[in-house]
Chains A and B, each alone.
Chain A
């Protein structure tokens, strides 16, 4: 079991306490391709941020690759994020004053990889994603789809075991959304990377092998979707 949550609770307290996660139990195996669905405000992003050790939880247990994730120092957490996890965000989160290739290189900088090696690897990943020609462009010179592919390249470059994507297609048109989902699917199948996608689009969720529904702060139905028949819409053809 790569990811295991037992009774995880999370309350935000900005003046008025807001109990968002009310005892989440969830297991995700290595190599799975899952989506998390739920209404707006149901706590999907909160859950994903906890999985990515970007945020902490109040009670319960979170086991990642057999290790209990609790009371980590910022340095340890940074190290986990760097080596185990790749993030893909709805708003891309590229550094605006760095070119595509510099953005992709950055996680390796924090691993202490030499400049030359970094650059070679970043170019290799950009090539994989068909972005060679865009390597020296700045984010504001690229389309949303291109930016998201740069972000995916950046998430992949450290060869993480998990990719966490929070509404990766949220800012993209339907055609580009399909491309991005196909890309994630290929990475899951060819490289065996565990991928967790948060979305509220059924068409996007239908591309994944398992759909986890979250409702009122707890896990609801878990749909097996190996046949990709959970949704018969026309969008994701």
Chain B
């Protein structure tokens, strides 16, 4: 084994040009593969990240105005949900499918004031889960917690835009301050990020506090719940039909009057995102495999040429006593050494390129109007994947190279000697 190693080390050292040319092709193949995987990952992360901001995995129910006459009522009747609907939704009929149930009150327009500055806002009573349901991102402080609800604390979470209006010099410092909202004062516990567009003017306060301050009735604006179970769109739709029908029946709304009781379905959106993710992933795999195949073709092509060029040398080796197996061993050992060495270099450079990509393109955001999105998020490849790809290319390249090697090993010595 060490004898073979010395033999090939000498051969490679004394044929620097051939070694470097072959090696370069291998490095280049792996370099491209790693870059492609990195960019693909970046695209995927960006897609998932951007999508996730607009996807709600839960289902919401709201009462609107009926659009059909039903059960003796005229159309255009206002439907209001109340606590009994929450209890019903949490009840045994739906319990296998329905997960956590939360509710939100209607909102009340107020004007916040602090140190002479004012800003408008819509106060709404919510539960701690609201933050995740609406994908709010905290900028400072915290969101509402269960204790706030239990103790009906007069606390509020403002948007960053509102905080800037109230305390232009140091919006962060508003956390912990009391702000006035008409006759009531709230302590600010946190600030959430707003988009450029400033869509969010909603100011969450504990649901229980809202019920004390603004609306002592049972009425609620919406019920939001998670689901355990439906695996397919059909399954989900069957559930939705049954649940919506039952809710509509409770409120004397026609079973198919979707405006009377409206259901916001974020659940199948989420399925769609999973589908999209699967498609992107498949696409990336195909791209990766194609790159890999072209890498293998390149490596085996080079092996073919290298072996052809060396036919005369193999003839000499055979004339002085090399068996076909020895020739085969020599060629394969040389090709493995070259591909492993230069493959590793290509992998290393590819990972550096991914890092550069991350530091440059990865930091750039594209403005699409409503918001800014990042084209590439974390466009890098894990060391494990990179190593796997490299090893795969080395193995495949060697197998592909073994075919011309095997042919070369079988050429009759006299024919090999005649080759020039």
* A residues neighboring B (CB under 8 Å): 49, 52, 54-55, 74-75, 77-79, 81-83, 87, 89, 93-95, 97-98, 102, 106-107, 109-112, 114-115, 154, 158
Residues of A within 8 A of B326 (CB): 78, 110
Looking at the assembled complex, report how far the CB atom of B416 sits from the nearest CB atom of chain A, in whole angstroms.
9
Q: Taking CB as reference atom, which chain A residue is nearest B412?
A: A55
Q: A74-B324, A78-B321, A102-B10 are in contact. List 13 more A-B contacts (CB 8 A).
A: A49-B414, A54-B413, A75-B323, A78-B322, A79-B321, A87-B319, A89-B417, A93-B315, A93-B316, A93-B417, A110-B320, A110-B323, A112-B3
Q: A54-B413, A97-B14 are in contact. Are A109 and B324 (CB under 8 A)?
A: no
Give residues 299-320 of B contacting A (CB, 8 Å): 313, 315-320
Q: A49-B414, A97-B15, A112-B3 are in contact. Are A158 and B10 (CB under 8 A)?
A: no
Q: A95-B313, A97-B11, A112-B3 are in contact. Are A52 and B319 (CB under 8 A)?
A: yes
Q: Can you offer 15 A-B residue contacts whose CB atoms are under 8 A?
A: A49-B414, A52-B319, A55-B413, A74-B410, A75-B323, A77-B413, A78-B326, A82-B321, A93-B316, A95-B313, A95-B316, A97-B11, A98-B10, A106-B317, A110-B320
Is B414's CB under 8 angstroms from A75's CB? no
Interface residues on B, range: 20 to 34
Alpha-carbon separation in the docked complex, A77 to B320 (Å): 10
Looking at the assembled complex, report how far the CB atom of A108 sits from the nearest CB atom of chain B, in whole angstroms.
9
Q: Is the interface of B mostly helix, strand, loop or mixed?
A: helix
Residues of B within 8 A of A49 (CB): 414
Looking at the assembled complex, report how far the CB atom of A52 sits from the nearest CB atom of chain B, in whole angstroms.
7
Looking at the assembled complex, report how far the CB atom of A219 sits from the nearest CB atom of chain B, in whole angstroms.
21
Is B324's CB under 8 angstroms from A75's CB? yes
Is B319's CB under 8 angstroms from A109's CB? no
Q: A54-B417, A93-B316, A115-B6 are in contact. Are A107 and B323 (CB under 8 A)?
A: no
Looking at the assembled complex, report how far the CB atom of B327 sits from the nearest CB atom of chain A, in whole angstroms.
9
Interface centre among B315, B321, B413 (most CB of A within 10 A): B321
Looking at the assembled complex, report how far the CB atom of B89 sits from the nearest CB atom of chain A, in whole angstroms.
81
Alpha-carbon separation in the docked complex, A54 to B317 (Å): 12
- Whether, in the assembled complex, B364 has its beta carbon less than 8 Å from a beta carbon of chain A, the answer is no
- Whether, in the assembled complex, B183 has its beta carbon less than 8 Å from a beta carbon of chain A, the answer is no
Top 10 nearest A-B pairs (CB, nearest first) are A82-B321, A97-B14, A78-B323, A110-B321, A75-B323, A55-B414, A54-B414, A107-B320, A54-B413, A74-B324
Q: Taking CB as reference atom, which chain B residue is nearest A118?
A: B3
Residues of A within 8 A of B413 (CB): 54-55, 77, 81
Looking at the assembled complex, report how far the CB atom of B137 sits from the nearest CB atom of chain A, in whole angstroms.
64
- Whether, in the assembled complex, B7 has its beta carbon less than 8 Å from a beta carbon of chain A, the answer is yes
| CB-contact partner of B320 in A74, A75, A106, under 8 A | A106
- Whether, in the assembled complex, B370 has its beta carbon less than 8 Å from a beta carbon of chain A, the answer is no
* B residues neighboring A (CB under 8 Å): 3, 6-7, 10-11, 14-15, 313, 315-326, 410, 412-414, 417
Residues of B within 8 A of A107 (CB): 320-321
Looking at the assembled complex, report how far the CB atom of A195 sits from the nearest CB atom of chain B, in whole angstroms.
17
Is A78's CB under 8 angstroms from B318's CB? yes
Interface centre among B7, B319, B413 (most CB of A within 10 A): B319
Alpha-carbon separation in the docked complex, A107 to B326 (Å): 12
Alpha-carbon separation in the docked complex, A115 to B15 (Å): 21
Alpha-carbon separation in the docked complex, A106 to B315 (Å): 13
Residues of A within 8 A of B323 (CB): 74-75, 78-79, 110
Residues of A within 8 A of B3 (CB): 109, 112, 114-115
Is A54's CB under 8 angstroms from B319's CB? yes
Q: Taking CB as reference atom, which chain B residue is nearest A52?
A: B319
Alpha-carbon separation in the docked complex, A109 to B326 (Å): 11
Is A81's CB under 8 angstroms from B14's CB? no
Looking at the assembled complex, report how far the CB atom of A75 sits from the nearest CB atom of chain B, in whole angstroms.
4
Looking at the assembled complex, report how far the CB atom of A124 sits from the nearest CB atom of chain B, in whole angstroms.
18
Residues of B within 8 A of A98 (CB): 10, 14
Alpha-carbon separation in the docked complex, A82 to B7 (Å): 18
Q: Taking CB as reference atom, which chain A residue is nearest B315?
A: A93
Residues of B within 8 A of A82 (CB): 320-321
Q: Taking CB as reference atom, which chain B residue is nearest A102?
A: B10
Q: Taking CB as reference atom, which chain A residue is nearest B420?
A: A91
Q: Taking CB as reference atom, which chain A residue is nearest B416?
A: A54
Alpha-carbon separation in the docked complex, A94 to B14 (Å): 14
Residues of B within 8 A of A158 (CB): 321
Residues of A within 8 A of B14 (CB): 97-98
Is A110's CB under 8 angstroms from B322's CB? yes
Looking at the assembled complex, report how far the CB atom of B155 sits from the nearest CB atom of chain A, in whole angstroms.
81
Residues of A within 8 A of B318 (CB): 54, 78, 81
Interface centre among B10, B14, B316 (most CB of A within 10 A): B316
Residues of A within 8 A of B6 (CB): 115
Is B321's CB under 8 angstroms from A93's CB? no
Looking at the assembled complex, report how far the CB atom of A120 sits from the nearest CB atom of chain B, in whole angstroms.
15
Residues of A within 8 A of B322 (CB): 78, 110
Looking at the assembled complex, report how far the CB atom of B320 sits from the nearest CB atom of chain A, in whole angstroms.
4
Q: Taking CB as reference atom, which chain A residue is nearest B415?
A: A55
Residues of A within 8 A of B315 (CB): 93
Alpha-carbon separation in the docked complex, A111 to B317 (Å): 12
Looking at the assembled complex, report how far the CB atom of B48 sits from the nearest CB atom of chain A, in whole angstroms.
54
| CB-contact partner of A93 in B11, B319, B410, under 8 A | B319
Alpha-carbon separation in the docked complex, A95 to B320 (Å): 12
Residues of B within 8 A of A111 (CB): 321
